[in-house]
């Protein structure tokens, strides 16, 4: 190749390479990462299914938070336990309705 024809080729190559280097501002920002889990006791221990069954208002609050941010929270122990408690309560209420009311 002649030097005169090599320069436009290299300029085009450099321009194409640099075109992808800037941060695209149209992409959505990443959601904050969930808190890291560790072997140490957390400041607020996870609540059990039976605890959520006895504390329905807290269960509703946790389920709302889990629904609002499922990517970060859906697999956390509190979300899993609150959903399990909700499911158990629904089944129990259905059984009670078939039997004619709670005993």
- Span 55-82, pLDDT tens digits: 999 999 999 999 999 999 999 999 999 9
pLDDT of residue 45: 86
Helix pair angle (56-68, 77-99), 10° resolution: 130
Mean pLDDT by 10 residues, the chain (103 residues): 60 58 52 49 80 96 96 95 97 91 59
C-beta neighbour count of 85 within 10 angstroms: 24
Locate the domains of the chain by residue range: 44-103
Query: pTM (2 decimals)?
Result: 0.55
């Amino acid at each position: 190749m002649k030097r005169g024809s090599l320069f436009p080729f290299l300029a085009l190559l450099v321009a194409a390479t640099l075109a992808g280097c800037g941060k695209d501002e149209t992409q959505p920002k990443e959601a904050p990462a969930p808190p890291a889990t560790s072997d140490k006791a957390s400041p607020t221990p996870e609540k059990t299914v039976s605890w959520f069954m006895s504390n329905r208002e807290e269960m509703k609050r946790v389920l709302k938070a889990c629904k609002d941010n499922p990517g970060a929270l859906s697999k956390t122990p509190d979300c899993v336990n609150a959903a399990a408690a909700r499911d158990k309560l629904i089944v129990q209420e259905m059984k009670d309705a078939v039997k004619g009311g709670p005993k």
